[in-house]
Amino acid sequence: MIKILKGFFERKMVVMLVAIVLVFVVLFNSGMFGGKDVHTHITCVGDSLTYGSGVLKNRDTDSYPAQLQAKLGTSYQVEGFGLRNATASESGDLPYLQSKEYKASLKSNPDIVLVMIGTNDSKTYNWNPEDYKAGLEKIVTSYKELKSQPTVYLLKSPYCYATDGTDIAQYDIQPAVVKDEVLPIIDEVAAEQGIEVIDLYELTEGEDSLYTDGIHFNKKGYSLLADTIEDKIK
């Protein structure tokens, strides 16, 4: 009996030691205990479409950054720095460049930065093409100049529409301005900055079932965004 108990406890000790070693390796690889953080850090920058409006009750699991994290797995660390109503333009009603979310994103030590902002700039009282382009350039440049030297992607603002059939969507957003003016400016800035574009407009155009209000997505819509982004960055 003593031998059996001894063997049992020895096996338990081996299992415990293996578990402790595995935990230590995970913590070491995350940067604790002086180890090098081996995660690929992804910083998601933008407005309510990054924040997760449309799935607010479950945005910790259903927003596109959260779903992107789930799809990419534990070797990646995805952080969302979305600000509802944010504009790229510094003359807009809520400039992203002046926000705490923006300042926090600059300190996130990213390897990849995903920038999706422009829908709120199209609002009737915000739209100024020169200011939008200047703000977008400033945002992109600030990430390119980070010490971590991340790869920056510009995400084209998704399709949006007015649920009542008029020219103006909810929150005074102008779908025609998004399509005909915001998207070309994103292309211009990407070309000038030498960075890649991920086209979320073409992906979502006419896919009304993915939306909750013509602007924001449901879980399925954000999942489609996350799938497309995953394919581009992996």
| Amino acid letter, residue 232 | K
| pLDDT of the residue at 33 | 47
Question: pLDDT of 25-75, one tens digit each?
Answer: 344 444 444 455 679 999 999 999 999 999 999 999 999 999 999 999 999
pTM across the whole model:
0.85
* Neighbour count for residue 188 (Cβ, 10 Å): 13
Contact (CB, 8 A) for 75 and 49: no
With a cut of 90, say whether residue 131 has pLDDT above it.
Answer: yes
Instruction: Name the pLDDT band for 2 (thresholds 50, 70, 90).
Output: low
| pLDDT of the residue at 17 | 56
| pLDDT of the residue at 10 | 57
| pLDDT of the residue at 12 | 59
Question: pLDDT of 156-170, one tens digit each?
Answer: 999 999 999 999 999
Q: What percent of the chain has pLDDT over 90?
A: 83
Question: pLDDT of 85-127, one tens digit each?
Answer: 999 999 999 999 999 999 999 999 999 999 999 999 999 999 9
Q: What percent of the chain has pLDDT over 70?
A: 84
